[in-house]
Amino acid sequence: MTAIVSIHSYRGGTGKSNITANLAYLAALQGKRVAVLDTDLQSPGVHVVFGMEKERITHTLTDFVQNKCELEECAYQMSSALELDGGGAVWLLPSSMRIEDIMRVIDEGYDVGKLNMQFAALNEALGLDLLLIDTHPGLNRETMLTTAISNVLVLLIRPDKQDFHGTAVMVELAGRLGVPNIAMIANKVVSRIDHADVKKKIADAFGYEVVGVLPLDEDMANLGSRGLFCKLNPDHPITHELRSIAARLMALASESDGDGE
């Protein structure tokens, strides 16, 4: 069964899109067939991290949820651009950057049920091991519904009081939605704070496993979403940490499969 992993945070700018894209790349390097869905229809961006040229995008998730195309038509093979020559592959399903499309989504919302229903067909067509969902931050109906069908919900958090308060709300909601597994990642942790302490503090506060702690990193900030950090920096400590996060998330996802979810 394909693992569905949603990457979410209460606030924007937490690192969702960059972390999602890099996890997809690292999982593909391990031979996995991965699709990345940009369900942040109001403020799309993960295609930028993948370096996807705008001209290549003819069909988007926004078109799909507005009944203008099939889901498979929005799936762009990224494997050659990412120079993946092992068994792994990455497809990207981007959202529309057109102002009219975004305004319409903000005004009218979208039929997330339709999206959820088509995941199985997409998995079948592409033979996926992993579906990674990049989300819109905060509490919103669409994200709640995609979260509800995920095997694993990853909550990203920065060491910031606003993030802690908001994440508590997200955790409570995810519990109510019955997500089989919740995993937490601390991002942008400054070097003067002990990472083991951060991990413990988050685990104690929320009661879920912290699968990784990532530093606030100058190289990452300097890259500014202009590429895949792990591809450009294969031996960087962030890449090592993300590699271990990817492995742990795959393990958690297969545990929840085993539960028959």
Q: Are strands 89-93 and 76-77 parallel, antiparallel or unpaired?
A: antiparallel
Of 45 and 159, the one with the shorter C-beta distance to Mg ion is 45
Integer Cα distance of 199 and 120 in angstroms: 35
Of 22 and 62, the one with the shorter C-beta distance to ligand ADP is 22
Residue nearest to Mg ion (CB): 17
Task: Count residues near Mg ion (CB under 5 A).
Answer: 3
Binding mask 132-171 for ligand ADP (x = CB under 6 A): ----------------------------------------
> How many CB atoms neighbour CB 14 within 10 A?
24
Q: Which of 29, 97, 7 is nearest to 58 (CA)?
A: 97
Q: Tell me: does residue 45 bind ligand ADP (CB under 6 A).
A: yes
Q: Tell me: does residue 16 bind Mg ion (CB under 5 A).
A: yes
Q: Tell me: does residue 12 bind ligand ADP (CB under 6 A).
A: yes
Q: Tell me: does residue 17 bind Mg ion (CB under 5 A).
A: yes
* Contact (CB, 8 A) for 21 and 37: no
99-113 burial code (b ≥16 CB/10 A, e <16): eebbebbeeeebebe
Residue whose tokens read 């519904």: 145
Give the one residue of 32, 188, 231, 243 binding ligand ADP; rule: CB under 6 A: 188
Give the one residue of 96, 167, 181, 225 binding ligand ADP; rule: CB under 6 A: 225
Burial (0-12, 13-18, 19+ Cβ within 10 Å), 97: middle
Residues 25-54 touching Mg ion, rule: CB under 5 A, are 45
Closest separation between CB of residue 42 and ligand ADP, Å? Answer: 11
Q: Could you tell which of ligand ADP, Mg ion, none binds residue 199, using a CB distance below 5 to 8 A set by kind?
A: none
Integer Cα distance of 79 and 25 in angstroms: 9
Q: Tell me: does residue 232 bind ligand ADP (CB under 6 A).
A: no
Strand order in the sheet with 76-77: 76-77, 89-93, 33-38, 130-134, 3-9, 152-157, 181-189, 209-215
Q: Tell me: does residue 187 bind ligand ADP (CB under 6 A).
A: yes
State both tokens at 68: 């203008």
Of 123 and 229, the one with the shorter C-beta distance to ligand ADP is 229
Q: Tell me: does residue 214 bind ligand ADP (CB under 6 A).
A: yes
Q: Tell me: does residue 18 bind Mg ion (CB under 5 A).
A: no
What crossing angle do the helices spanning 195-206 and 161-177 adopt, rounded to 10°? 40
Of 97 and 193, the one with the shorter C-beta distance to Mg ion is 97
Query: Could you list the residues that contact ligand ADP (CB under 6 A)?
Result: 9, 12-18, 45, 187-188, 214, 216-217, 220-221, 224-225
